[in-house]
Amino acid sequence: MNIKKVLVSTLGTAAVLGAGLFASTTSANADVRVSVKSGDTVAKIANQYNSSISAIESANSMKNVNLIYVGESLVVPSSASSTASTTTTATQSTTPSQSTQTTSNYSSNNTSANYNAQSTGTTSSAATSSNSSSAKAWIANKESGGSYSARNGQYVGKYQLSASYLHGDYSAANQEKVANSYVSSRYGSWSAAKSFWQANGWY
């Protein structure tokens, strides 16, 4: 028997088995995209795919985990990435409260500083509104070219909302109202929705 041949054959088999093991490990930790069905809740989906509510909430930038729509597409992280997501969320939630407390103490110590803080807040609010308006127009352009009559299967209008969200009323006013409500409940602002769109190709 040729020893070189046996050695090559054995190494080849080990490499194939190793590759198979790596592939199965990778796919086991992959995130899943799920289309919401009637009767689904975030808790039910998390349980079904061995994930967690907080991981799904974080992966989809949801503002209200109790508000999901039939036909909506959700990213469901694997249990491995759920743990990391939960840790990140916990860390992030600590920072804003500390920042707010510092601002509050500073303002109460100095009346002039308090006036300046209010003035800055107004300017900041106007800038945020402008950014949000710009982000809204950006999304509308990406989704439909800004057309209220655009259609793509079940998706309708300027913001390509699922027809089920519009309840048969495809008027421009209803599209604007429903789009604002959807973005507010899911992302908190159009700017956040735009960031999510840029990262995922949809919002």
Q: What is the pLDDT of residues 22-74, one digit of tens each?
A: 433 334 456 889 898 988 898 898 888 888 888 888 888 888 888 888 898 88
Kindly report, residue by residue over 177-194, the tens digit of the pLDDT. Answer: 999 999 999 999 999 999
Alpha-carbon distances of 4 from 11, 14, 201, rounded to whole Å: 11, 15, 52
Alpha-carbon distances of 100 from 45, 103, 119, 184, rounded to whole Å: 35, 5, 17, 22
The alpha carbon of 71 is separated from its chain's Cα centroid by a whole number of angstroms, namely: 16
**Average model confidence (pLDDT) for the chain?**
73
Q: Are 47 and 84 in contact (CB under 8 A)?
A: no
pTM of the model: 0.42
Q: Which of 61, 37, 84 is nearest to 200 (CA)?
A: 61
- CATH of 29-116 given 3.30.565.10, 1.10.150.80, 3.10.350.10, 3.10.450.350: 3.10.350.10
Specify the DSSP class assigned to residue 158: T
Q: Which of 170, 169, 167, 162 is nearest to 186 (CA)?
A: 162
Domain ranges of the chain: 29-116, 126-203
